[in-house]
Chain A
Amino acid sequence: MKIQRSLHRWAIPVVTIFSLSLVAQQTAPAQQVVATEAPEVELVMPPPESVQADISEIDLDAIVRVEVDTKQPNYRVPWNVGGMGSGNGTGFLIGKNRFLTNAHVVSNGRLIYIKKVSDPRPYKAKVVNIAHDCDLALLELESEEDYENSFENVEPLYIGGIPKLNTTVIAVGYPIGGERISVTRGVVSRVDFRTYSHSGVDNHLTIQVDAAINPGNSGGPVLQSNQVVGVAFQGYSGSVAQNTGYMIPVPVVERFLKDVEDGEYDFYVDIATSTLGILNPAQRQALGLPNNSVGVMVCEPDAAGSAGGILKPKDVLLSIDGHTIFSDGFIDIDGERVDMNEVIERKFAGDTVSLEVWRNQQQIDIEVELKRFIPYTIQANQYNKQPQFVLFAGLQFQPVDRSVMTSHSISDLQTRYYYTYFSSDEIYREKPQVIVLTAVLPDSVNTHLRSYVHKVVESINGKKIRLLQDVYDAFYKPNSEPGRDDFHVIRLVGEGRPLVLKRDEAAVAHDRIKAKYNVGFTSHIEEPEILELGDLIKQTDEEPAAEEPEKNQ
């Protein structure tokens, strides 16, 4: 959810007002909601606790232990295989040979086994769909026969709705502390938007419970009245906060299941627009708005987002799909106050959203077609990916993303700028990939270059570096700075001293370094997703690239 992130960036306290209100869900109309603050809303009493805590109709065989062997990519030494590990989580049967679990349980998984309560046999499973932006995954047993023999008679779990505040929920799973299935009980403490720590950048609806949720619970069902009301997924360690576990609520689960009905996961869509609550009467007057607490002002629509080129700074959003937007960014749905993003949260790629917009003292209607916002993924944790790099004569080049920044502990100011403002300052137009010299494998050919690590590469051999592929091409195709074809010349952003390698020495050193440092392969390059932005990215222009070095001299 881009809007949430932007609000944090601008430190506008809109998001903090949300804490105790409950969210009504269109997807779960049966679930009524309790008004905790507004007395004019009709109060619906929750069912008695004995009913809430009832899981007698649950077939425990539907709640499975998921065991995973993983291979963690090594972003620091990208040609290495990476670390092997293993872990376990929980999953549950939701339909014919479909088990739901968390994405983080099976991420980087190489081998997945599913075990049920009443059966010692592990069954080999595989990932059908995985959604890193909402931490959910669907698994199936590899063998149809295994499924028929062991799960055909197991009743799948039914997915319910949003549980009310202060009602009892039961978390079931295979957490740390023993081998067998575990049941813990607590109440719903809070319903709120929060960051999903698996990707680290996505915010969705989250339900906080005080039932113990521990490592191993992940992917397990949280139940109420014999129905699933959430998927246990994250929490705080006891040293930070007590009894604070989080589950993914039903609307997020159902959106995921609907998205993958066509067999593919297409990601959340995002309006990618930062907004500002306008509660200040003077500001309202300046915009020509009545003092009626309606409307939020657009700060910056990201060019690569759904509203890029459609919404403009200083536009005031008055309503979204017919719901009045109040000046704190909230809307009313079915009598409940929810974040305006909740409307977009429920939509899919290609859907439209209708906005009433106040622009230049006039009200206009704007339709925005929703799509995924790609540039922000540079700051997301990456999974199931082989680190990309080019190694030449001991110089290691990698495209900047969260994994590269953290694994190399990069603190260089310029590199941090490109990373942090990649989306909002539209760095991707010039540099769809920000290529950094991440390491130097010391050798006589490069021994004086080690102090230049962590800096962004501007050009190599006269070729402007916009993609990792450019690095490869600059070294391996005939490129050179004018008159300097006896050297490889690497120019870094903001650094007047070029890094130079003598071509004849570099060629010899490259093989020597490969052998000395046990380098298995010297490049891995994939076409980056960011290129889907098409026209927003400046097309390669060889002419200025050739002139660039002269400017620096």
Chain B
Amino acid sequence: MRFKSAISATALWCALFLVNPVSAEPTPETSIIRVNATLQEYSFIKPWEKGAPSPRRGLGALISENQVLTTAEMVVNATYIELEHPSSGAKVPAKIVARDYEANLALLEPAIKNARVFEDVVPMERTNAVKAGDKVEVWQIEDNGDGVTTEVEVLRVNVGRYFLSSSNFLVYQIKGSLQARVNSFTLPVIQDGKLAGMLLSYNSKEQTANILPMPIIEAFLADVKDGEYQGFPSLGIGFAQTLDEALREFAGISESDGGIFIRKIAKDSSADRGGLKKGDIIMTIDGNAIDSRGNYEDPVYGKLSFSHIVRGNAKVGDSVKIDVIREGEPKSLDIALVRKEPTDYLIDPYMFDRGPRFLILGGLIFQELTRPYLESWGDSWTTRAPFKLVYAAANPGFPQ
């Protein structure tokens, strides 16, 4: 861990800048912008109300002249967002350029001009090169503007949960001891002076953390850049492992092959539109053999869930070639990948930055059924919320 005084750091950096700005070694003080947000949750019980405003303070990485990358969770239901210079305290109101709650990323920029906010802060370079076993740094900023770097180790790379319980993406799992500071939400993760990811969550008991990795960030930024944001595709299947030999024999797959059994197909999903069927066994996706647990051998990260082929390596509009065994016969399908918006579902799985639509007539409140409405009953909502609504949410279309 490295501590520097604000004065020496600034002085050092200024000196270098004057001589040769390109060779400057990036530090937290020269790359990070503080992000302060005021969040106000929408009430799903009294849909005309918003909850008490609460502050959230985090960090973002300057990635272009005036754009700051942070997590979507950092600015979820934000009523007011501002960007703050890491040490001078200069602030400017910010607006959201793009945001994706599934990939948990947001891109911010100043809503009005204030040159002082980015004064002496240089856009970060980015690296995709992190692998299991690498050392990376987590960057933080002290209250007084000093940078703090903590070296941590990448234990493994796998697919895990981001912000929403429903969506899984590539994550770096790291081990190391981190301390809370004023702006602790969303910490940049650095390798060789380049941005490698953003810290998603930290388990202080086990001293492990999940990092949102650069491949997902790059895909997000590329999607933003082309003008129309489309988000990350998904296949839309529920699957069962095929470790059960009786099932393998029943489905007509050999002992040595892998394959996953499709239990469910989400309506209007890529799988549904592309002609996958319940009972199909997926053997390969884009030439990658899928094992009986649902993993494939990634050339960079090793064993990974097949979902990364769809989510991490492809984008909306791409096609993947899926080989299946259907009723004992091999079959090959080209599946065009789509993304389902939360509003594409009969019952919205999540809803942020707006409340539920409602109508009050003669004192009766009518509102759309959403997952957040049910979650208003607390952690044990599946048993505490009205049972028929919980059941309907799990079985869209009920009652017929």
Q: Is B266 an interface residue (CB 8 A)?
A: no
Known: A420-B387, A497-B261, A553-B278. A413 touches B250 (CB 8 A): no
| Contact among A416, A487, A495 for B250, CB-based, below 8 A | A487
- The CA of A552 and the CA of B395, in the complex, are separated in Å by 17
Across-interface contacts of A263 in B (CB, < 8 A) = none
Question: Which one, A210-218, A498-506, A518-526, is touching chain B?
Answer: A498-506
Distance of A481 from chain B, by nearest CB (Å) = 10
Across-interface contacts of B262 in A (CB, < 8 A) = 496
Q: Is A411 an interface residue (CB 8 A)?
A: yes
- The CA of A449 and the CA of B249, in the complex, are separated in Å by 15
Q: Size class of B's contact patch?
A: 20 to 34
Whether B383 pairs with A411 at a CB distance below 8 angstroms is yes
Across-interface contacts of B263 in A (CB, < 8 A) = 495-497
Across the two chains, which residue of chain B brings its CB closest to A448?
Answer: B244
Known: A411-B383, A552-B279. A501 touches B391 (CB 8 A): no
Kindly identify, within residues 347 to 400 of chain B, every residue whose CB is under 8 Å from any CB belonging to chain A.
382-383, 387-388, 390-391, 394-395
Whether B250 pairs with A498 at a CB distance below 8 angstroms is yes
Distance of A71 from chain B, by nearest CB (Å) = 32
* Majority secondary structure, A binding face: mixed
Q: Is B246 an interface residue (CB 8 A)?
A: yes
Across-interface contacts of A411 in B (CB, < 8 A) = 382-383
| Contact among B240, B390, B391 for A497, CB-based, below 8 A | B240
Q: Is B57 an interface residue (CB 8 A)?
A: no
Q: Is B243 an interface residue (CB 8 A)?
A: yes
Per-residue contact bits, chain B 218-234, to A (CB 8 Å; 1 contact, 0 not) = 00000000000000000
- The CA of A501 and the CA of B250, in the complex, are separated in Å by 9
Known: A411-B383, A420-B387. A496 touches B264 (CB 8 A): yes
Distance of B72 from chain A, by nearest CB (Å) = 29
- The CA of A497 and the CA of B261, in the complex, are separated in Å by 7
Q: Is B192 an interface residue (CB 8 A)?
A: no
Distance of B97 from chain A, by nearest CB (Å) = 40
Across-interface contacts of B244 in A (CB, < 8 A) = 448-449, 500
Q: Is B327 an interface residue (CB 8 A)?
A: yes
- The CA of A119 and the CA of B285, in the complex, are separated in Å by 85
Across-interface contacts of B246 in A (CB, < 8 A) = 445, 448, 487, 500-502, 505
What total of chain A residues lie within 8 Å of the partner, measured CB to CB?
Answer: 23
Kindly identify, within residues 395 to 437 of chain A, every residue whose CB is under 8 Å from any CB belonging to chain B.
411, 413, 416-417, 420-421
Whether B247 pairs with A413 at a CB distance below 8 angstroms is no
Across-interface contacts of A489 in B (CB, < 8 A) = 250
Whether B250 pairs with A484 at a CB distance below 8 angstroms is yes
- The CA of A501 and the CA of B244, in the complex, are separated in Å by 10
* Majority secondary structure, B binding face: mixed
Across-interface contacts of B388 in A (CB, < 8 A) = 421
Across the two chains, which residue of chain B brings its CB closest to A497?
Answer: B240
Whether A552 pairs with B382 at a CB distance below 8 angstroms is no
Whether B391 pairs with A413 at a CB distance below 8 angstroms is yes
Kindly identify, within residues 49 to 107 of chain B, every residue whose CB is under 8 Å from any CB belonging to chain A.
none
Across-interface contacts of B387 in A (CB, < 8 A) = 416-417, 420
Per-residue contact bits, chain B 233-268, to A (CB 8 Å; 1 contact, 0 not) = 000001010011011011000000000011110000
Across-interface contacts of B395 in A (CB, < 8 A) = 494
- The CA of A497 and the CA of B239, in the complex, are separated in Å by 8
- The CA of A552 and the CA of B277, in the complex, are separated in Å by 10
Distance of B64 from chain A, by nearest CB (Å) = 46
- The CA of A421 and the CA of B279, in the complex, are separated in Å by 30
- The CA of A27 and the CA of B167, in the complex, are separated in Å by 66
- The CA of A489 and the CA of B261, in the complex, are separated in Å by 15
Across-interface contacts of A553 in B (CB, < 8 A) = 277-279, 327
- The CA of A532 and the CA of B238, in the complex, are separated in Å by 41
Per-residue contact bits, chain B 179-212, to A (CB 8 Å; 1 contact, 0 not) = 0000000000000000000000000000000000
- The CA of A205 and the CA of B249, in the complex, are separated in Å by 61
- The CA of A337 and the CA of B129, in the complex, are separated in Å by 81
Across-interface contacts of B391 in A (CB, < 8 A) = 413, 416-417
- The CA of A381 and the CA of B146, in the complex, are separated in Å by 68
Across-interface contacts of B327 in A (CB, < 8 A) = 553
Residue of B246, B250, B327, B395 most packed against chain A (CB within 10 A): B246
Across the two chains, which residue of chain B brings its CB closest to A416?
Answer: B387
Across-interface contacts of A497 in B (CB, < 8 A) = 240, 247, 261, 263
Across the two chains, which residue of chain B brings its CB closest to A500?
Answer: B250
Per-residue contact bits, chain B 121-147, to A (CB 8 Å; 1 contact, 0 not) = 000000000000000000000000000
- The CA of A198 and the CA of B391, in the complex, are separated in Å by 29
> Assuming A445-B246, A448-B244, A553-B277, what are 5 further A-B pairs, CB within 8 angstroms?
A411-B383, A448-B246, A500-B247, A502-B249, A553-B279
A-B contact pairs, 27 of them (CB 8 A): A411-B383, A413-B390, A413-B391, A416-B387, A417-B391, A420-B387, A421-B388, A445-B246, A448-B243, A448-B244, A449-B244, A487-B250, A494-B395, A496-B240, A496-B262, A496-B264, A496-B279, A497-B247, A498-B247, A500-B246, A500-B247, A500-B250, A502-B246, A502-B249, A505-B246, A552-B278, A553-B327
Residues of B at the A interface (CB closer than 8 Å) are 238, 240, 243-244, 246-247, 249-250, 261-264, 277-279, 327, 382-383, 387-388, 390-391, 394-395
Across the A-B interface, the 6 shortest Cβ-Cβ residue pairs: A448-B244, A496-B263, A497-B240, A496-B278, A500-B250, A553-B279
